[in-house]
Amino acid sequence: MDRRSVADELLEQTIVGSFSRIGIGLRRRVFAWPPFTGGSLDGRTVLITGPTSGLGRAATDALAALGARVILVGPSQDRLAGVRNALVAAHGVDRFPIVVADMGSLASVRAAVTRVLETESRLDVLIDNAGAIFQERIEGPDGIEATFTTLVVGPFVLVSDLLQLLQRTPGSRVISVTSGGMYSQRLHLDDLEWRSEPFSGSRAYARAKRAQVALVREWARRLGPRGIVINAMHPGWVATPGLAESLPGLYGLIRPLLRTPAEGADTIVWLAAAADARVRSGALFVDRRPRPFDRIPTTRLSATDRRRLWEMVVGLSGMPDPLPER
């Protein structure tokens, strides 16, 4: 390992160092990241969920600046229109279609996919970014606990139903935005929807994020060499409206250490645009480098657990298995 990698690994051991703005500042300097090449996404199509706020908005701005056609997916027509208008004003062209979808409703996700398939002939990058923390246990219109639908089952249906379009697009990529909070939680496969245990919004969120990453690994295994590369990333701690609203205590405490949304979105943009980001699939990235899936041995999910999770999510989605085992 070279000296830069040793420094990076030491930083990764310290959660505050790695997750805060200190982490990205040091890594940017140590590895001398080159700027993204202007026009590198000309002619490419990116779909992003949650482009109206925080990380999604910062990633959208950066991807649009690199030339991408960006499909904006979110629950509010008005908020999406606000982002599209700002992008059209900034770039002078309208390559920013709007698709209304609530990731917490499978019917809504399916309707969004139908719209995308009607208008798009390629999909180079799909970014599963939308996220929220629910303070109480509620069930969405599909009768599934809302955190698990919004962060896991909804995105699973989105990727599954867009799989053929992704497969037809050479070099396509799927990026899942997860959270370092997942390191703190073990997934309870016998109670994914908090039917037995007293509900905790922040723990439900962290477990759903762990499930999301486990599914990324399972997607990568099942896709094999089919051309689509799928990876997860976590952005560190980022000053976004989402963090301020859902975890105000943490936000106040670590405010000076928070990354800007552009810093938090850097690895999303890198995974979407950089040639060397396509060499791995089924990995978890932080600051452009693959990282461990666990920090505590008891949170580890075996390959059998991941297969079981996949089958449970397929069951909840109500659709046939998109990539059945042979």
Ligand X SMILES: NC(=O)c1ccc[n+]([C@@H]2O[C@H](COP(=O)([O-])OP(=O)(O)OC[C@H]3O[C@@H](n4cnc5c(N)ncnc54)[C@H](OP(=O)(O)O)[C@@H]3O)[C@@H](O)[C@H]2O)c1
Catalytic positions, written as ranges: 205
Is the Cβ of residue 21 or residue 44 nearer to ligand X in the bound state? 21
- Look up tokens 């976004």; give the residue: 240
b/e code 87-100 from CB counts within 10 Å (16+ = b): beeeeeeeebbbbb
- Nearest-approach distance from CB 256 to ligand X, in angstroms: 14
- Nearest-approach distance from CB 79 to ligand X, in angstroms: 4
- Select the residue interacting with ligand X from 18, 41, 45, 56 (CB under 6 A): 56
Is the Cβ of residue 140 or residue 322 nearer to ligand X in the bound state? 140
Q: Does 85 bind ligand X (CB under 6 A)?
A: no
Residue 218, φ and ψ in degrees, nearest 5: -70, -40
Q: Does 87 bind ligand X (CB under 6 A)?
A: no
Stretch that binds ligand X, among 128-136, 167-175, 288-296, 315-323 (CB under 6 A): 128-136
Q: Does 18 bind ligand X (CB under 6 A)?
A: no
Exposed, middle or buried by CB within 10 Å (0-12, 13-18, 19+), for 118? Answer: exposed
The answer to whether residues 63 and 41 touch, using CB atoms and an 8 Å cutoff, is yes
- Select the residue interacting with ligand X from 66, 71, 75, 271 (CB under 6 A): 75
- Nearest-approach distance from CB 129 to ligand X, in angstroms: 5
Q: Does 23 bind ligand X (CB under 6 A)?
A: no
- Nearest-approach distance from CB 298 to ligand X, in angstroms: 22
Binding mask 225-244 for ligand X (x = CB under 6 A): ---------xx-xx-xxxx-
Stretch that binds ligand X, among 27-35, 44-52, 114-122, 271-279 (CB under 6 A): 44-52
Stretch that binds ligand X, among 47-55, 160-168, 187-195, 313-321 (CB under 6 A): 47-55
The pair of structure tokens assigned to 152 is 């896991």
Helices 54-65, 261-273: inter-axial angle, 10-degree rounding:
50
Q: Does 176 bind ligand X (CB under 6 A)?
A: no
- Nearest-approach distance from CB 110 to ligand X, in angstroms: 14
- Nearest-approach distance from CB 54 to ligand X, in angstroms: 2
- Select the residue interacting with ligand X from 61, 102, 193, 263 (CB under 6 A): 102
Q: Does 97 bind ligand X (CB under 6 A)?
A: no
Stretch that binds ligand X, among 68-76, 274-282, 290-298, 313-321 (CB under 6 A): 68-76
Stretch that binds ligand X, among 39-47, 60-68, 75-83, 192-200 (CB under 6 A): 75-83
The answer to whether residues 121 and 84 touch, using CB atoms and an 8 Å cutoff, is no
Positions touching ligand X (CB under 6 A) are 49-50, 52-56, 74-76, 79, 102-104, 129-132, 150, 177, 179, 234-235, 237-238, 240-243
